[in-house]
Amino acid sequence: MRRDDDLIRSLMLDFEVASDYVNDSHAVSGYTRDQVAYHMALIVKAGYAEGPQPRYSSTGSDPTIPIGVLVTRLTPAGHDFIATLRDDTVWAKVKERLAKVGGSASLEVIGQVGAAVTKQLLGL
């Protein structure tokens, strides 16, 4: 499955305001349960959210899709990541800049581009 940065951003925004844990049955409009679970696992593995390690099935149809993912809270790095990408204008400019280099980058680089765009908008 390809990583969907819009879904990662949407999930991170949801985690930020959640008053309880979020699991892989969390609904995100326009996405399947498998897409949500896969991206939640990416967020946990990247260190942007805390939770037990995602569980995978060896007998499922796609062993890369977790059968269980739980997010308990954002990490400090996760809060920093979403702080730079929360604003829709900043996010649009980040996606515009990424499109110039093929449309994809690591989550770390996406956060750095978000910080650079924010600095530019602030005149820093």
- For the chain, give every domain's residue range: 5-75, 81-122
pLDDT for residue 105: 86
Q: How far apart are CA 28 and CA 4, in angstroms?
A: 13
Average pLDDT estimate for 58-68: 83
pLDDT one-digit tens code per residue, 74-112: 999 999 999 999 999 999 999 999 998 887 788 899 999
43: confidence class by pLDDT, cuts 50, 70, 90:
very high
pLDDT for residue 76: 97
pLDDT for residue 77: 95
pTM for the complete prediction?
A: 0.90
Residues 70, 36 contacting (CB under 8 angstroms): no
